[in-house]
Amino acid sequence: MKDFIGIADHSPADLQAMLDLAVELKKEHQAGGNKPRLQGKTLAMVFQKPSLRTRVSFDMAMRHLGGDALYLSPAEIGLGQRESIADVARVLSGYVDAIMARVFDHAHVLQLAEWAGVPVINGLSDYNHPCQGMADALTIQEEFGALKGINVTYIGDGNNVAVSLMHICAKLGANFTIANPAGYAIVPGAVDLAKQFAAESGSALTFIEDPHAAVKNVDVIYTDTWTSMGQEEEARKREAVFPPYQVNPQLVSEASKRAIVLHCLPAHRGQEITDEVADGPHSRLFPQAHNRLHAQKAILVKLLG
């Protein structure tokens, strides 16, 4: 495995192996600390977008594994502006052992991977969010034992988080449903890939607009902010369209009694999710956030260990 750019790039067996490694690393950490598997290794963390979970979880993952992480702010690099992406990739490759990039344009992370001589990890792009997808899968696996046959419903905008969640569900045999308003569907190319993966795994994919129909008897309800970073100009328009897609106690009551609720955070409480749900018995928002640390440790070990 040279890079980690998208869930779609990896086989079901490789994805499951990373999840199993994440479980092992999490248990090891909780039992007293991780072995220094990445002693002497350094990760450059390139940020175009601000972050809480991505920055801290990658930084702490490297520390727990015996390595170091170097934070590079938007002002320090300016990908493709102050300096070409190809030049940044080649320069960093002479300094560090891996690069994690959190970008706006997916093409930027692809160019980094093309020109870098070290592994590149996609920390988020406008197309997908594979590290989040791995943490989501880890959380579902912890709750239900496996993804195979689990019914997962995503409510809201068909954004980058939805793409990675759909792909890992399709790869590992979970049934994936998304309910979104007209005009806010997942991009067709990502759906075409998911259909290929689902045909191989036996996963069922459902694309509808009615959120109430989407949650009938499901095991996992997932939501995300209605307006992602970079879409601020659309916020008022989206706030008029998405209220019927709020994950609230009524919607959760229509799912399976064992259903859990997930959200990649940050949450806009009172919009896509209510306090009663986010802080209620079905919520796994914070174990899910903490699993970013352990899922990313597994990715780092696979790339650098």
Catalogue the active-site residues: 102, 129, 132, 224, 264, 292
- Token readout for 114 is 């093309």
Whether the Cβ atoms of residue 225 and residue 234 lie closer than 8 Å to each other: no
Q: What is the arrangement of strands in the sheet containing 68-72, beginning at the earlier edge strand?
A: 68-72, 42-47, 98-102, 120-124
CA dist 147 and 136 (Å) reads 10
Query: CA 251, 252, 257: angle at the middle one, nearest 5?
Result: 140
CA distances from 88 to 100, 171, 182, 235 (A): 13, 33, 40, 33
Name the amino acid, one letter, at 251: L
CA dist 227 and 1 (Å) reads 33
CA dist 16 and 148 (Å) reads 11
DSSP string, 87-138: HHHHHHHTT-SEEEEE-SSHHHHHHHHHH-SS-EEEEE-SS--HHHHHHHHH
